[in-house]
Amino acid sequence: MSDSWDDVLGRLVADLDDAERRLDAQAAPAVERWTPPADLGPLPERLLERAVAVLSRQGKVAERLDEARTTAGRHLAALDAIPARRQGAALYLDVTG
């Protein structure tokens, strides 16, 4: 067995830490497809509480990512609503309402 459950959970926690730091900084989180090691075997009972905590935290980070995606979509829609500037035309942008 090349990876242990301790190693895998540790890497997942490190990835969550990184995702949360990037979300707090409003920076795009790194996205990598994760494939679980095939040779882990069953989760040891001693790690069940830790694994449940990681799963809960993943759900919270996923919610934050979804909120960030929705916000970015709204911002893009607002930018798309700004008419293209015609050459030589005056440009006014109502920023108050």
pLDDT at residue 2 in the model:
56
Considering the entire predicted model, what is its pTM?
0.74
Cα(25)–Cα(75) distance, rounded to whole angstroms?
Answer: 17
Least confident of 1-15, 37-51, 83-97: 83-97
pLDDT band for position 1 (cuts 50, 70, 90): very low
Cα(29)–Cα(15) distance, rounded to whole angstroms?
Answer: 10
Give the model confidence (pLDDT) of 39-60 as tens digits.
Answer: 889 999 999 999 999 999 999 9
**Residues above pLDDT 70, as percent of the chain:** 95
For residue 34, which of 68, 59, 9 has the smallest C-alpha distance?
Answer: 9
Q: What is the DSSP letter of 46?
A: G
